[in-house]
Amino acid sequence: MKENPQEPQKRQGFLETKFIRFLGGRNVLFTAILILLCGCIIFIFDKISFIFHPLQVLVEVVILPGVLGLILYYLLRPILRLMMRWRIPKGWSILIIFIGGIGALTLLILLVFPFLRDQFTDLTQELPNYLGSVINNTVDYIKNSRFDEYFDRYNIDYMTIAQDISNDLITTVRDTFASLAQNLASGITGFVSALTGFVLSLVIVPFILFYLLWEGEKLPNFVLNIFPKRGREEVGEIMSDMDKQISSYVQGQILVAICIGVMITIGFFIIGMPYAFLLGSLAMVTSVVPYLGPVIAITPAVIIAIVSSPFMLIKLAIVWTIVQLVEGKFISPQIMGRSLAIHPITIIFVLLTAGSLFGVPGVILGIPGYALLKVLITHLFRMFKKRYNRFEDEEQYRYERHEIETPFGTEENN
């Protein structure tokens, strides 16, 4: 019996060399090529970015009325659903909402705005005097304390330093308001142009809000029909989670801010704090930004309290502590709950990063934007786990839901 001739050995391909297998095989090579292609695409788009300038202008024009319309939609949608539950037709419900909103806005402009404007004008005029009084009180305290001996020992003329700081602060504040007025007068054309664009954006908001209230419930189905049938279930879950996140955040944050503003205003009136209504309104507006907002709101109140009397500072601390305890223990858990489930450290980093990149709009929209991105990445990772398990033969390497022991107790892990 003849032996079969020995088959020629196959030539080792590049993807089967030891070096490529050491790096991880062909998948690593394909990933590197994909990253290189993405870099080339980014480089090319950077060189032809002028082509997308009209698109950038369109986004800048649409973003303000779109965001305002979306916020108002999420605030008014529960009212619309409640009225429709009372068997009021949708058209009449939207008309009632618009009439009520216009009435509330008119009362706000006619009654509240003039009072706030007068208080703000008085505060800006008195602010340099408040700052000077704080510095003078600090100097008097140092003069009558043991710190005076230490400054004399090291030949530090703190009175001259304090006087220079006081003069610089007063001059800076006055120059700032003077330069703002001068720039406003000299750049009246640009100011009118910017004001016109802002007014036009506000005029567009009611139309956007009307169509969102009228067609908002149909929009998810319209978006789902764009995707293939196989992926509509996953896309529907992503859109549902995103809608819940944004709805909970907008409604909860606005209600919490209103509660904080009302409580601080009442507390400041009780203790006799000057500019109580203005400071309460400032606290309400800045409370929309978590963690950083209260710090911004309390700063002018502390300055005014220090100038008024040390006892006023103590009363301010008591009011602020009570408001923060009530908000943290009762209001936020009942209104916000744990809808976002974002760690406070993460919120601070998101606010700082978004503020550095996009300014004030980034600070306001950073948290909801991060929440939407978190929902999207969570669903994409879940889809990846399903795909991975489909191609994984060994049971020990599959993703499973199991309990793990941690220093903080037992947790479920995917």
pLDDT in tens, 157-179: 556 666 666 666 666 666 665 55
Closest CA to 275 of 294, 251, 297: 297
Q: Which helix (H) or strand (E) holds 410?
A: strand 409-413
Residue 336 makes CB contacts below 8 A (sequence gap 6+) with 248, 249, 252, 253, 256
Q: How far apart are CA 193 and CA 187, in angstroms?
A: 10
DSSP-derived secondary structure for 176-230? HHHHHHHHHHHTHHHHHHHHHHHHHHHHHHHHHHHHHHHHTTTHHHHHHTTS-GG
Quick one: which H or E segment has residue 403? strand 402-406
Q: Work out the pLDDT band at 36, boundaries 50, 70, 90.
A: very high
Tell me how far apart the alpha carbons of residues 113 and 322 are, in angstroms, rounded to a whole number.
28
**The amino acid at 49:** S
Contacts of 304 (CB under 8 A, 6+ apart): 130, 273, 274, 275, 279
Of the candidates 196, 207, 366, 400, the one whose C-alpha atom is nearest the C-alpha of residue 288 is 366
Confidence of residue 99 (pLDDT cuts 50, 70, 90): very high
Point out the least confidently predicted range of 149-163, 195-209, 374-388. 149-163
Low-confidence winner among 339-343, 372-376, 400-404, 407-411 (lowest mean pLDDT): 407-411
Q: Is the four-CA dihedral 127, 257, 205, 99 of positive or negative sign? A: negative
- Whole-model pTM: value is 0.69
pLDDT over 60 (residue 199): yes
Beta strand 409-413 with 402-406: parallel, antiparallel or unpaired? antiparallel
pLDDT bracket for residue 95 (50, 70, 90) = very high
409: which strand partners? 406
State pLDDT tens for residues 306-325.
Answer: 777 778 888 888 998 898 88
Q: Is the pLDDT confidence value at 376 over 50?
A: yes
Q: Return all residues near 75 (Cβ < 8 A) that are at least 6 apart.
A: 250, 251, 254
